[in-house]
Chains A and B, each alone.
Chain A
Amino acid sequence: MIELIHLEKKYDLAAPLKDVNTVISRGDIISVIGPSGTGKSTLLRCINLLEKPTGGQILLDGEEITAPKYNPTKARSRMGMVFQSFNLFNHLTVIENLIIPS
């Protein structure tokens, strides 16, 4: 279960996420839709902790992963993410791209 509470992400020139609140339960299939540049990628990158949210909280199964002392690797190893630009590992074989990081 992923909970977003008052999630906020501001850049110098843009504030793509303002007070985002939602609960995503196990088994849910969610689409985030919106025009280009509205913050869909930013939202996913925040959930994955590739970006540090500037405000609010993210809970993963009740545990706050945005807490300062939280180890991002722990959350990430339980998530899968497909990037907009794919980022396949060129130096590895297909099977390795599939089984990494096992």
Chain B
Amino acid sequence: MSDLYVTEENKKAIPLSEALFTVEITGMVRDEGYAAAARPFWESVTDSFRKTFIVENRWQLFLDGIGTTLLITVLSILFGTALGFSVFLLCRKGNPVANGVTHILIRLVTGLPTVVLLMVLYYVIFGGLTVSAAVVSVICFSLVFGSAVCAMVKGRVDTVGVGQTEAACSLGLTDRKAFFHVVLPQALPYILPQYREQISALVKATSVVGYVAVQDLTKMGDIIRSRTFEAFFPLLVVAAVYFLLAELLTWLACRLEIRMDPKRRSKEKIMKGVAASD
């Protein structure tokens, strides 16, 4: 729980009981002339390391944090991709009013700072419900990622000329087949590099979930820092892990990119013909 001050304004907002327990607040000021007792460098490093990782099994906090961050990121990527792509497909032939509303919603999601959106979702929209902060975080980042996916798919698909759709239709492909077999495959090689960038951005963006009390990697680093008063190792680990997570996920997306390259299809697949493949 964070500090609760008994003020006239607070009393109006929530019914407060009589004060049962009072805590004193102490302020500290650093002594300018003070220098840390000189210790051998190596000893201070090992001590700091011990405090950060070994004492109270704090390495487990890091593992928990990594797990939470990874879970939120991966779920948001999956839901966000599905959401963004579905919204794009619905809007492709959707009616103008519905499309307009969707467009405004997307602008809203991308226009707000992610932290603000997260807090709005947690405290206002889901405020009255008992939804866990982690779930709200996944919803928030799915929305953010979904908006990005929708915008980049639309942007890239629009650059494939309308003549391609017409040509495909004039050959007797249905509109749906023309989209999936002719238009989308030509847009994908341009969508995927952008998609990769978005994944990397998402991993980093999730570091704000601590604002709604989700104990992700950043938050765990904070907790440990506040216990040990040592910043070096916690921040080093947090920074390194974010970097590695982003690299790992981008690498996975790269594999996908290579697999989807139309130029790398096998001969058998090519000879099966285009519309026959579904």
- C-alpha gap A87/B276 in the complex (Å): 21
Which of A3-11, A27-35, A54-62, A75-83 lies at the interface? A75-83
> Contact: A96 with B186, CB < 8 Å?
no
- C-alpha gap A102/B170 in the complex (Å): 14
Report the minimal beta-carbon distance from A63 to chain B, rounded to whole angstroms.
16
- C-alpha gap A48/B172 in the complex (Å): 10
> Contact: B173 with A101, CB < 8 Å?
yes
* The one of B172, B173, B185 that contacts A91, using a Cβ cutoff of 8 Å: B185
> Contact: A101 with B274, CB < 8 Å?
yes
Interface of chain A residues 58 through 102 with chain B (CB within 8 A): 72-74, 76-81, 83, 85, 87-93, 95-96, 99-102
> Contact: A100 with B171, CB < 8 Å?
yes
Interface of chain B residues 136 through 158 with chain A (CB within 8 A): none
- Interface flag for A50 (CB, 8 Å): yes
Q: Which of B164, B166, B172, B270 is most buried by chain A, counting CB atoms within 10 A of its CB?
A: B172
> Contact: A50 with B170, CB < 8 Å?
yes
- C-alpha gap A30/B177 in the complex (Å): 31
Residue on B with the closest CB to A74?
Answer: B172
- Interface flag for B275 (CB, 8 Å): yes
Q: Which residues of A contact B170 (CB under 8 A)?
A: 48, 50, 76, 79, 81, 83
> Contact: A89 with B172, CB < 8 Å?
no
Q: Which residues of B contact A81 (CB under 8 A)?
A: 167, 170-171
* The one of A76, A83, A87, A90 that contacts B172, using a Cβ cutoff of 8 Å: A76
- C-alpha gap A76/B165 in the complex (Å): 13
> Contact: A101 with B275, CB < 8 Å?
yes
Interface of chain B residues 188 through 230 with chain A (CB within 8 A): none
In the A-B complex, the 9 residue pairs with the smallest Cβ-Cβ separation, listed nearest first, are A77-B172, A87-B167, A101-B275, A87-B163, A91-B262, A81-B170, A76-B172, A91-B186, A100-B274
Give me the interface of B with A, judged by CB distance under 8 Å. Answer: 161, 163-164, 166-174, 177, 181-182, 185-186, 262, 270-271, 273-276
